[in-house]
Structure 1
Amino acid sequence: MKRTIILLLIGFIGPLVCPAQVNPNLIQAGLDAITAATLTDAQVAAYTRQAVQQMDAKNPVASSSDPYAQRLSRIVSRHHTVGGLPINYKVYKVADVNAFATADGSVRVFKGLMDVMTDNELLAVMGHEIGHVIEHHSRDAMKSALRRSAVRNAAASQSGALGKLSRSQLGDLADYLAGASFSRKQETEADDYSYSFLKRNGYNVLALATSFEKLAKLSGGGKGGQVTQILSTHPDSKARAQRVRDRARKDGLAR
């Protein structure tokens, strides 16, 4: 059945073209579109794992003896499984203030973020990023990435500079991992997950608020590109910090 759908889609994309003349980029575009529509959580994890391996190869990863890696190991010692998902943590020795979590359970924390956050604030940020995975936001982002790949493949079938640029981007899903953007609703859900994670494990929930307040301060502190990435995925930091404080007061966890 799936093969029939693929053949029909190829026929739609390239009518009146014999199979030997069908552009492989157009075929791939059709396959990507189908994959995006039928992607399972297991497939998302498998695709993501490959992309994370590319990211790890391109970035300086702190060794187990590195002080940054040792600090992170200590911070997350109780949290190698979160929400039933096995988590693997690594530090990128990169000055950017950033962190991300992916659907395969990979959490990557940048040196720049560790330099400005306390231990509990780091847990709050990681809890937020893991929340995107637990709430399936990362799965949806992967689907969007595959849809974009289908569009790029279609563009790659054309001649000229645009086609060459598109071909150079095909299959590179790592690009979206550190900067996937989510809807306001998804960001709120991830905030709530982090809050509950901190509360459930006996941490100060206000660490989530102070992490947002630090990000808001950094955004106006001349750090430029070092904080652009994480701020693009954590908009309205001040408002979100206030929401956390209001909830903590309602829960009797803050004055």
Structure 2
Amino acid sequence: MNTKSLLLGAFLMFFGLSKAQAQINFGERALGAVQKGMTGFTFTDADAAALSKPAVDKMDAENKVAGPTDPYAIRLAKVFGKYTKGEFYTLNYKVYLTKDVNAFATADGSVRVFSGLMDVMDDNELIAVIGHEIGHVNNHDSRDAMKALYQKEALIDAAASQSNKVAAVTDSQLAKIGSAMIDSKYSRKQESEADLFAYEFMKKNGYDVNAEESAFRILAKMSEGAQSSFIDQMMSSHPDSSLRADEAKARAEKDGLYKPYVKKPAVTTPVKKTTTKKKTTTKKKK
């Protein structure tokens, strides 16, 4: 077996490609990129956003999205809708109507919150969770994760094996990228920094920072109960919720802000305006 074959085999094993995928003929151009490890491939925040948007659009089309008059959409807009401008991104929000407990943010600024999460958390707790997800975008974690995904998927069909620019990906690749964005696995350091981003955001904007600890306590408790199946799926890519709750409490204590959090009732339906109808009288004809 020659050196090139050995290098290609090692690369395939590293990314865990299936046997069927391993039989794809990469060709000399792709093999050259494999040998280089694509170390010179530049991937900007704009590239990550451009690749994220069609993947998010695909997910939006395949999920039940709350309309603008839906109580969940109204609540999310009230809680977080006024925060749209980031350092290098513009945020947009939608709610997926599903019992699953999850939320994610992508490199193009798309924030998607599952209604199941909104059912178990009050507004301040939601801010803590959504702030954490936006923290990954702000800290360029989403860009770096997207770069790794793109390199893997592009190399499968050699779409951009030796290109400086991001090439189009297939519909099936977009589906894989979308799934991976929801279940992105970040390092312990990245998760801690995203938690800190959420904490600092809440402190800066006058929210009760103790809601961050409370949010993680909720997830930790749910992972022990009957709902553990989909909670475990959500948290499989995150550090232990109890540990994160302890760290959130320690941050608040250090700043002299800690107090036991009192959960506030979540308003999931808009207040209906009451109108009074004027009584009309008709004169009797004489």
TM-score of Structure 1 vs Structure 2, range by shorter chain: 0.7 to 0.9
- Contact 2:103 2:113 (C-alpha < 8 Å) held by counterparts: yes
> Could you tell me how far apart the structure 1 residues matched to 2:98 and 2:146 are?
24
- Contact 1:87 1:106 (C-alpha < 8 Å) held by counterparts: yes
2:216 paired residue number: 212
> Could you tell me how far apart the structure 2 residues matched to 1:96 and 1:62 are?
15
Measured against aligned partners, the alpha-carbon deviations of 1:120-171 in whole angstroms (never above 9, x if no partner) come to: 11110000000000000001110111232145447xxxxxxxxxxxx98434
Letter in 1 for 2:206: G
Measured against aligned partners, the alpha-carbon deviations of 1:39-80 in whole angstroms (never above 9, x if no partner) come to: 111111000011100110111000001111111111113312
* Residue 46 (structure 2) aligned to one of 42, 54, 72: 42
Q: Against the structure 1 CA distance between its residues 232 and 203, is the aligned structure 2 distance closer, same or farther, given a 3 Å change threshold?
A: same
Q: Against the structure 1 CA distance between its residues 128 and 25, is the aligned structure 2 distance closer, same or farther, given a 3 Å change threshold?
A: same
Letter in 1 for 2:106: T
2:127 paired residue number: 123
TM-score, scaled relative to structure 2: 0.71
1:193 paired residue number: 197
Q: Against the structure 1 CA distance between its residues 147 and 36, is the aligned structure 2 distance closer, same or farther, given a 3 Å change threshold?
A: farther
1:91 paired residue number: 95
> Could you tell me how far apart the structure 2 residues matched to 1:52 and 1:29 are?
31
> Could you tell me how far apart the structure 1 residues matched to 2:174 and 2:234 are?
24
Count the aligned residue pairs: 224
Deviation at 1:81, TM superposition (A): 1.9
* Residue 170 (structure 1) aligned to one of 164, 170, 173: 173
- Contact 2:129 2:198 (C-alpha < 8 Å) held by counterparts: yes
1:60 paired residue number: 64
TM-score, scaled relative to structure 1: 0.79
Q: Against the structure 1 CA distance between its residues 67 and 152, is the aligned structure 2 distance closer, same or farther, given a 3 Å change threshold?
A: same
Q: 3-state DSSP class of the match of 1:113?
A: helix
1:107 paired residue number: 111
Letter in 2 for 1:121: E
- Contact 1:68 1:91 (C-alpha < 8 Å) held by counterparts: yes
Q: Against the structure 1 CA distance between its residues 55 and 199, is the aligned structure 2 distance closer, same or farther, given a 3 Å change threshold?
A: same
- Could you say which structure has the larger radius of gyration? 2
Q: Against the structure 1 CA distance between its residues 150 and 220, is the aligned structure 2 distance closer, same or farther, given a 3 Å change threshold?
A: same
- Contact 1:209 1:241 (C-alpha < 8 Å) held by counterparts: yes
- Contact 1:209 1:242 (C-alpha < 8 Å) held by counterparts: yes
Match status 1:147 vs 2:142: no
* Residue 246 (structure 2) aligned to one of 236, 242, 249: 242
> Could you tell me how far apart the structure 2 residues matched to 1:29 and 1:130 are?
36
What's the C-alpha RMSD, in Å, of the aligned pairs? 2.7
1:6 paired residue number: none
Letter in 1 for 2:63: N
Single out whichever of 142-151 and 55-64 deviates more from structure 2: 142-151
- Contact 1:35 1:146 (C-alpha < 8 Å) held by counterparts: no
> Could you tell me how far apart the structure 2 residues matched to 1:46 and 1:168 are?
15
* Residue 182 (structure 1) aligned to one of 182, 186, 191: 186
Larger helix fraction of residues = 1
- Contact 1:95 1:226 (C-alpha < 8 Å) held by counterparts: no
Q: 3-state DSSP class of the match of 1:81?
A: coil
Q: 3-state DSSP class of the match of 2:208?
A: coil
> Could you tell me how far apart the structure 2 residues matched to 1:71 and 1:63 are?
12
Give aligned-pair identity as a percent.
47
* Residue 83 (structure 2) aligned to one of 65, 79, 85: 79
- Contact 1:125 1:211 (C-alpha < 8 Å) held by counterparts: yes
> Could you tell me how far apart the structure 1 residues matched to 2:237 and 2:108 are?
20
Q: Against the structure 1 CA distance between its residues 124 and 36, is the aligned structure 2 distance closer, same or farther, given a 3 Å change threshold?
A: farther
Q: What are the ranges of 5 or more consecutive residues in structure 2 without an aligned counterpart? A: 9-23, 159-169, 260-286
